[in-house]
Amino acid sequence: MQHSAHTPGPWQIEPWRASWGPTLAVYPPAFPREGSRVPVAVELSAANAQLISAAPDMLRVLEFLLSDLNSTLDAETALIIKGAINKARGV
């Protein structure tokens, strides 16, 4: 299985006060030094923030499915999984 260059999860969602009002910030795992955290995304929508925070876990599951079950997947399913993985990797 190829490892991704993104920051692995778990990512957390926390309230964040922006100049335009209350929002949600998506943070990667805590850094060693306090105050060094930078959000990977700032969202008005809770649904978008939840999807962004789940992305590393979903990519890991898709990579697992493709590598461990590839021989048992039908061609269409394998193509859909490969497409999602490539999109996540920016390919």
Q: What is the pLDDT of residues 40-81, one digit of tens each?
A: 888 888 898 999 999 989 999 999 999 888 779 899 999 999
Distance of alpha carbon 75 from alpha carbon 91, whole angstroms:
20
Distance of alpha carbon 59 from alpha carbon 86, whole angstroms:
10
> Which residues in 9-61 belong to E strands, given as ranges?
12-18, 21-27, 41-43
Q: What is the pLDDT of residues 7-34, one digit of tens each?
A: 777 888 888 887 877 889 888 876 555 5
Element (H, E) at 77: helix 75-89
The total of other beta-carbon atoms located within 10 Å of residue 27's CB is 19
Q: Is pTM beyond 0.85 here?
A: no
